[in-house]
Structure 1
Amino acid sequence: MAPSPVKTLTVDLYLQDVFNCEASNDSDISDIITATWQQWIQTWLEELHSIITISGAYELSLRLTSDYEIQTLNNQYRHKNQPTDVLAFAALEVKVPQSSEKISADESLYLGDIIISVDTAKQQARQNHHSLTVELAWLVAHGLLHLLGWDHPDEESLLQMLAQQETLLKLVGLQPNN
């Protein structure tokens, strides 16, 4: 078995107003906290490593919050005064980092921030007939792809991105129902 291309991954998980989200209950909070975000994201980075072969160590932040906070951020940074499901703020300034941009082996590459509204995720999970865990993983995968330079300005690129998200979820044993 080949060694893992991703040697280390640091996921800083922040729970902001999650306990005050609309209709949150103990089961939802347990799903959020016990989800294996670090392991899932590492698996996804290993899958995508062929297009981001610049580091063996990565870092990102994942913030799970309420519609109120994400609406504030969406208004501040995208000038859309409404809640959204996921925001991704990439730290990289290039579309897809190239292998010529390698950083030292002991240095982590900071990818950026993923912010998800648990309120909106709960609504979407119900609409799509799957668990909150699957919906949150779907949104984290979407945000991660944005951090790595993926975008969906047209229907074709959106379909490619959604297919990649589905592939990533299947890698960690999750299956979206949409």
Structure 2
Amino acid sequence: MEVEVNVQDYFSTASEPTATETDSLSCPIATPTWERWFEQWLDTLQSDLPAADGYELTLRLTDDSEIQSLNAQYRHKNQPTDVLAFAALEVNSPQLPTSMPLSFPLYLGDLVISVETADRQAQQQGHSLETELAWLATHGLLHLLGWDHPDEESLKEMLNQQEILLESVELTL
């Protein structure tokens, strides 16, 4: 299975980032690592995926200001959040035939993660920024695949699945 991850790091593409932004908020995870992780996670989640030769998604690493703007625009919550997931697949639509894989990569959607919020949460939880970013990426990925947590039981299932995904790339909380 081939996985293509388009990583957009706001801090390395901003026209004039401040010294504080470039020093304290650059992503500690290289694109090849993200690609390896998403490939492993999607392999682990194979039963939740429509059959395809490969999968694509976009991962945008940003700051609180940009994610607050997106959160206000799309979720009508004018506050920063840690991760947003914009799924390309319709969960309730007819599924693609599983007996005949697609011959082109299937676009799963877009993930947006605030590195600022992730950094604060990592400090509060007592683990690395790398671990927090991976945790948020697994949460967003599950949302792209139709997982949700409207109640305590489904949240617990989703959090357990996130732990499994982290362990699959040798990370732990």
TM-score by length of 1: 0.86
Alignment check: 8 A CA contact 1:52 1:98 kept: no
- Contact 1:9–1:57 (Cα < 8 Å) also in 2: yes
Q: Closer, same or farther in 2 for the Cα pair 1:61/1:124, shift >3 Å? A: same
Distance 1:16 1:97, change over 3 A: farther
Change (3 A) 1:165 1:121: same
1:66 aligns with 2:60: no
The amino acid of 1:57's aligned partner reads G
- Stretch of structure 1 that moved more, 105-114 or 132-141: 105-114
Q: Distance in 1 between matches of 2:53 and 2:99?
A: 9
Name the SS for the 1:150 alignment partner: coil
CA contact (8 A) 1:61 1:113 kept: yes
Match of residue 13, structure 1, among 7, 17, 22: 7
Tell me the equivalent position of 2:121.
Answer: 124
- CA–CA distance in 2 between the matches of 1:174 and 1:21? 31
Note the 1:48-59 alignment, pairs <5 A: 48-59=45-56
Query: Which residue in the other structure is 1:114 paired with?
Result: 111
TM-score normalised by structure 2 residue count: 0.88
Distance in 2 between residues matched to 1:145 and 1:72, nearest whole Å = 23
> Residues 85 and 141 of structure 2 are in contact (CA less than 8 Å); yes or no, is this contact kept in structure 1?
yes
- Code of the aligned partner of 1:10: E
Instruction: Report the alpha carbon displacement of residue 50 of structure 1 after superposing the two structures with TM.
Output: 1.6
**Could you tell me which amino acid in structure 1 is paired with residue 5 of structure 2?**
V
30-39 vs 126-135, greater mean Cα deviation? 30-39
Asked if residue 164 in structure 1 is aligned to residue 161 in structure 2, the reply is yes
How far off is 1:105 after superposition?
4.0
User: What residue in structure 2 maps to residue 152 of structure 1?
Assistant: 149
CA-atom RMSD in angstroms: 2.4
Distance change >3 Å, CA 102–CA 85, structure 1 → 2: farther
- The amino acid of 2:161's aligned partner reads Q
Q: Which moved more, 1:162-171 or 1:16-25?
A: 16-25
In the alignment of these two chains, the number of paired residues is 170
Look up the equivalent residue of 2:160 and give its one-letter code: A
User: Structure 2: how far apart are the matches of 1:151 and 1:22?
Assistant: 38
**Residue in 2 that maps onto 1:41:** 38
Deviations 1:12-57 (A, max 9, x none): 0001146758965647536133670000010010011022142131
The alignment status of 1:133 with 2:133, answered yes or no, reads no
| Structure 2 residues without counterparts, runs of 5 or longer | none
Q: 1:114-145: per-residue Cα shift (whole Å, max 9, x none)?
A: 00000000000000100000000000000000
Q: Is contact 1:52–1:96 with CA below 8 Å preserved after alignment?
A: no
